[in-house]
Amino acid sequence: MTESARSEGPRRPPGGHISRLPPGQYVPRGWPVLHYGRVPRIDLQSWDLRIFGATASGQEHFLDYPEMMALPTSEVGADFHCVTKFSMLDNRWTGILARDLMAVCPPADDVAHVLIWAEYGYSSNVRLSDFVAADTVFAHTHNGVPLSVEHGWPLRFICPPLYAWKSTKWVRAIEYLTEDRRGFWENRGYHNVGAAWSEQRYSYQERPEDGPPL
């Protein structure tokens, strides 16, 4: 496995905030385990990552687990904010930066959003600008320890400025979108963007430009 590790600092709170915590958040004891449905059973022999939709080549791409782990590895420091109001500070996430993965399997020029797909058909959508940020990473390790299956092993999408339902566990596919499309929780009343520092928790808070209609 080839590996080139680099450190990235966390994105700073916007608007001159002094607190490390977004509005309404608290620091818990430990790392709560939250997800919809059951924990999947993962077989790395059959696991792959599918990249499809509006790709630059017009073709679907598939990376098996060894191919994914052979991509450049980075470590990012980033806080983690759950919409249920807990925040975990000073995390070290190790994995493949989303922008490095995108360089291997690039999108078409008119792509503006990305849908992250997981086991059992779960999905969450993010803007391309959030996807390519310096601290957005497909993580397999947290604070030097491989993620547990309960926390999303073998691959978890981490997008630090957004609430953690956007940080999809058990990633299996990336879909490039030319038009925004809501994911699982976004279709069930959660905010389409989900920026933690703007406290974008629920769809009733949305402005017209925040996403497609429910």
pLDDT on residue 88: 93
pLDDT on residue 94: 98
pLDDT on residue 14: 53
Q: Residue 63 is encoded by which pair of tokens? A: 């990376």
Q: Residue 75 is encoded by which pair of tokens? A: 């470590």
Integer angstrom CA distances of residue 31 from 13, 28, 41, 88, 196: 22, 7, 21, 7, 18
pLDDT on residue 8: 40
Q: What is the mean pLDDT of each run of 10 residues along the chain (214 residues)?
A: 40 56 90 79 95 98 97 96 94 97 97 97 96 97 96 96 96 98 97 97 96 93
List Cβ neighbours of 188 (8 Å cut-off, separation of 6 or more).
none
pLDDT on residue 2: 37
Phi-psi group of 189: left, alpha or beta (phi > 0 → left; psi -120 to 50 → alpha; rest → beta):
left
CB 77 within 8 A of CB 8: yes
Domains annotated for the chain, with CATH where assigned, are 45-180 (3.90.420.10)
